[in-house]
């Protein structure tokens, strides 16, 4: 159960993949179950048995991810390294097709991880007690307050500025300092991206509502584990499977504009930036291979 959204701590694994240094990736991944466990027990007052089950479930999930997903992700990063690397000092342009292929691979990995996590989440949810339901709702409410403060309370201009800053930071993890052309591309993208902030927040609230319905049923033993597992899996994957034509159109639009941005920024990179990105991809691929081999 991840109280930043109606999903689960498998998102913590995704955060590990975004760490900026190779040694940090290995350290963070090896400790990810413990970090997630500490985060969750600070949000809800789990009893000793619940805490032990949660810790075991997180460890099982990380081990599964280590065995099954890290080798695949390493292969994808090796492919990215070959695309990013300059050839004899010359930057080779990337295409939307290449970026989309990597995006689809990552999405497939997230789906597999969500489906693996769902039964573990269901098992933990069925160990909750009714008096803990409000604690979980309170944790979600606090997270929503933080989200609104960060994403929605500013005026449109400030939202665009913050969105551009977040995206710039992500690119600089790969390329190092961006040039003015790249920053301008990100600024233009942010003006398109932030226009739907309120809609995305409402979808967040709706999925949290669906999650809390399941929490209440589980805590009151009104649902069996198999059904709960299926419902959790659907909810975890909801961001990849829009429920309406409007949501689908919005999702496709956001995906296209983001892919277009990635392509434009990479093609505006110089040879040094592309070399930096290729080296990071190679380094992370090696780290994932090492982590997988230490299972």
- Is residue 230 a part of any domain in this protein? yes
- Is residue 47 a part of any domain in this protein? yes
Question: Interhelix angle for 96-125 vs 48-68, to 10°?
Answer: 150
- DSSP 8-class letter at 244: S
pLDDT in tens, 181-210: 999 999 999 988 766 777 788 888 999 999
Rounded Cα gap, residues 1 and 139, in angstroms: 11
Helices within 42-175 (DSSP H only): 48-68, 70-84, 96-125, 133-151, 156-175
Contact 218, 231 (CB under 8 A): no
Return the closest-CA partner of residue 171 out of 267, 286, 291. 267
pLDDT of residue 3 exceeding 50? no
- Is residue 41 a part of any domain in this protein? yes
- Is residue 4 a part of any domain in this protein? no
At 149 the pLDDT is: 85
At 23 the pLDDT is: 53
- Is residue 5 a part of any domain in this protein? no
Beta bridge partners of 87: 90
By residue range, what is the domain housing residue 263?
A: 10-293
pLDDT of residue 4 exceeding 70? no
- Is residue 149 a part of any domain in this protein? yes
Other beta carbons within 10 angstroms of residue 95's beta carbon come to: 12
Mean pLDDT on 33-45: 90
The alpha carbon dihedral of 250, 256, 260, 261 has a sign of: positive
pLDDT of residue 91 exceeding 50? yes
Please, which pLDDT band fits residue 25 given cuts at 50, 70 and 90? low
Contact 132, 219 (CB under 8 A): yes
* Total domains in the fold of the chain: 1
- Is residue 3 a part of any domain in this protein? no
Please, which pLDDT band fits residue 164 given cuts at 50, 70 and 90? very high
pLDDT of residue 289 exceeding 90? yes
Residue 93 gets the label, from left (phi > 0), alpha (psi -120 to 50) or beta, of beta
At 156 the pLDDT is: 80
Q: Which carries the bigger pLDDT value, residue 242 or residue 174? A: 174
Mean pLDDT on 1-11: 37
**What kind and span of H or E run contains 260?**
helix 245-267
- From residue 40, alpha-carbon distances to 4, 10, 105 in Å are 11, 12, 29
Helices within 176-244 (DSSP H only): 180-193, 197-219, 225-236
pLDDT of residue 19 exceeding 60? no
Please, which pLDDT band fits residue 52 given cuts at 50, 70 and 90? very high
Buried b (16+ CB within 10 A) or exposed e, 1-35: bbbbbbbbbbbbbeebbebeebeebbebbeebbeb
- Is residue 1 a part of any domain in this protein? no
pLDDT in tens, 94-153: 999 999 998 889 889 989 999 999 999 999 999 999 999 999 999 999 999 988 888 777
pLDDT in tens, 265-277: 999 999 999 999 9
Tokens of 166: 């977040």
Contact 240, 107 (CB under 8 A): yes
pLDDT in tens, 213-259: 999 999 999 999 999 999 999 998 887 676 778 777 877 888 899 99
Rounded Cα gap, residues 168 and 184, in angstroms: 10
């Amino acid at each position: 159960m991840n109280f930043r959204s109606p999903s689960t701590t498998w998102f913590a694994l995704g955060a590990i993949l975004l760490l900026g240094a190779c040694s940090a990736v290995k350290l963070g991944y090896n400790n990810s179950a413990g970090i997630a466990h500490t985060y969750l027990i600070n949000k809800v007052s789990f009893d000793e048995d619940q805490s032990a089950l949660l810790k075991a479930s997180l460890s099982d999930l990380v081990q599964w991810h280590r065995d099954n997903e890290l080798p695949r992700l390493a292969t994808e990063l090796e492919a990215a390294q070959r695309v990013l690397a300059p050839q004899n000092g010359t930057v080779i342009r990337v295409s939307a097709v290449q970026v989309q292929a990597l995006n689809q691979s990552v999405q497939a990995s997230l789906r597999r991880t969500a489906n693996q996590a769902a039964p573990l989440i269901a098992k933990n949810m069925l160990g909750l007690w009714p008096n803990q339901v409000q604690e979980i709702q309170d944790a979600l409410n606090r997270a929503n307050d933080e989200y609104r403060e960060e994403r929605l309370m500013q005026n449109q201009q400030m939202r665009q500025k913050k969105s551009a800053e977040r995206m710039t930071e992500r690119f600089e993890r790969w390329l190092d300092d961006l040039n003015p052309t790249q920053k301008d591309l990100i600024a233009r993208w942010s003006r398109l991206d932030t226009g739907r902030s309120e809609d995305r927040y409402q979808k967040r609230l709706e999925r949290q509502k669906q999650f809390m319905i399941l929490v209440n049923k589980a805590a009151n033993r009104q649902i069996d584990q198999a059904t709960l597992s299926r419902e959790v899996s659907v909810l975890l994957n909801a961001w990849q499977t829009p429920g309406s034509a409007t949501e689908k159109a919005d999702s496709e639009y956001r995906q296209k504009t983001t892919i277009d941005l990635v392509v434009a920024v990479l093609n505006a990179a110089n040879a040094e930036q592309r070399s930096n990105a290729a080296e990071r991809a190679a380094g992370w691929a090696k780290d994932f291979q090492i982590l997988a081999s230490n299972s």
